[in-house]
Amino acid sequence: MNRNQMSKNVFSLEGKLALVTGGGTGIGLGIAQAFVKAGAQVVITGRREYVLQQAVEQLGNNTVYVVNDITDKEAIPSLVAEIEQNVGAINILVNNAGIHHKAMAQDTSDEDFERVIQTNLLSVFSLTRECAKYMLERKSGSIIMIGSMAGLFGIDRVVAYGSSKTALTGLVNALVTEYSTSNVRVNAIAPGWIESKMFINAINNDPERKAQITNRIAMDHFGQPEDIGHAAVFLSSEAARYITGVVLPVDGGATVNF
């Protein structure tokens, strides 16, 4: 190993362009922040322009936004082409945008279930396939799915959400078998309970649920959006160049704690 190789920061994302869906708030914003700090240029997408504008102001000059509804599958090819032509080659895709539906299985309608699957799975596949078209030609890329603990073990009242996130693991596995020979890596992150104003308000209004959650976490605190961001930086960097097909829990030990 020569001196240049030794001095190279393998965790740096300098010169990389990342597309983060749902990047205006919460975990998506935390990922975008971590990417910018690691040196990447970042494109964030979402449905609400004012939210994206505020996020770009916070993130700085190395970030741009594109208003997009990920469920509009017909618009996905033009979204990716626009970024590729006007911003740059997409080196990293983070499929973060998703929706939730909280209801017991017997109270979940077919329409409720289909709406969650459409956003959290079918649209993710459509966008991944379109970005991969360019990545496979360049023989380089990192694709990250944002899964959930609900995809790793059963949680009540989230049957549609849990099913969609479980399916992402199967999607990761299948894509690894096809993309790896072109050096396009596919991994997933399964966040635990990540702190946000909405989350804190929700559990404070449900003491039984709050106790259930805090007892499940092995550590003594909730996660932060940047915890997911740091994991995404690692999986997108040269430090993880031989890692593909992994579902990485970032959950304070909740997945294994009893």
> Catalytic amino acids?
161
Check if the beta carbon of residue 87 is closer than 8 Å to that of residue 44.
no
Check if the beta carbon of residue 23 is closer than 8 Å to that of residue 92.
no
Check if the beta carbon of residue 85 is closer than 8 Å to that of residue 133.
no
> How far is 226 from 35, CA to CA, in rounded Å?
10
List Cβ<8 Å contacts ≥24 apart for 133-140: 133/80, 134/80, 134/84, 134/89, 134/90, 135/90, 135/91, 135/93, 135/179, 135/182, 135/184, 136/179, 136/182, 136/184, 138/89, 139/182, 139/183, 139/184, 140/91, 140/183, 140/184
> How far is 123 from 37, CA to CA, in rounded Å?
28
> How far is 49 from 54, CA to CA, in rounded Å?
9
> How far is 61 from 47, CA to CA, in rounded Å?
21
